[in-house]
Amino acid sequence: MDIKTLYSAGMNFEAFMGTGIKSERDRIPKNYSRIAMTKEQVERVKNIEKKINFLVSGEPWCMDFQLNVTVLKRFCELNANFDMAIITKARGEKFLKPILGVEEFKVPFIVPLSEEFEISGEVFIERPKEVKKHVYEDIKMNYLKGEYLNYTVQDLIEMISK
């Protein structure tokens, strides 16, 4: 299966989260309200003129997915050139893992694609780079409270600015 076919098999954010249970769906507005983008970050996202299709692999129960893909949802709302399709972790692991040649598959797994569905930038895997610099258990509670969402914003801006 190729990337374009995987993308077309994906769901939008609302439909995908609709497959989750109520407590999983209820976390999204809370996470969304914690996204504090600067005016400069908002303008950078709004001013990207190229079409980007984000292929995302994840699960509605995954806290990393709930946090980080909510930021991507915000990006898609800010820029009409952005679109997102979400597939399950199992489908991503089965098809994306060999296409991209990754050894360990963690979600969310976010792949930026060009209008022609070619990989066009760095892949975002699981958590922002800043979180990966720490012992996860030491920062886990703050991370889950959304205190690292701005690092996700920064990583995603870097991803789409290349």
Question: CATH code at 66?
Answer: 3.40.30.10
- How many whole angstroms from its chain centre is CA 34? 16
Structure confidence at residue 58 (pLDDT)? 98
User: Looking at this protein, which amino acid is placed at residue 110?
Assistant: I
Quick one: average pLDDT of 91-99? 96
> Can you give the residue range of the structural domain that contains 94?
3-161
Quick one: average pLDDT of 23-39? 97
Mean pLDDT of the chain: 97
Q: What pairing do the DSSP bridges indicate for beta strands 109-113 and 124-125? A: antiparallel
The pTM assigned to this predicted structure is: 0.96
Structure confidence at residue 49 (pLDDT)? 96
Structure confidence at residue 93 (pLDDT)? 97
The total number of structural domains that make up the chain: 1
Does residue 162 surpass a pLDDT of 90?
no
Does residue 56 surpass a pLDDT of 90?
yes
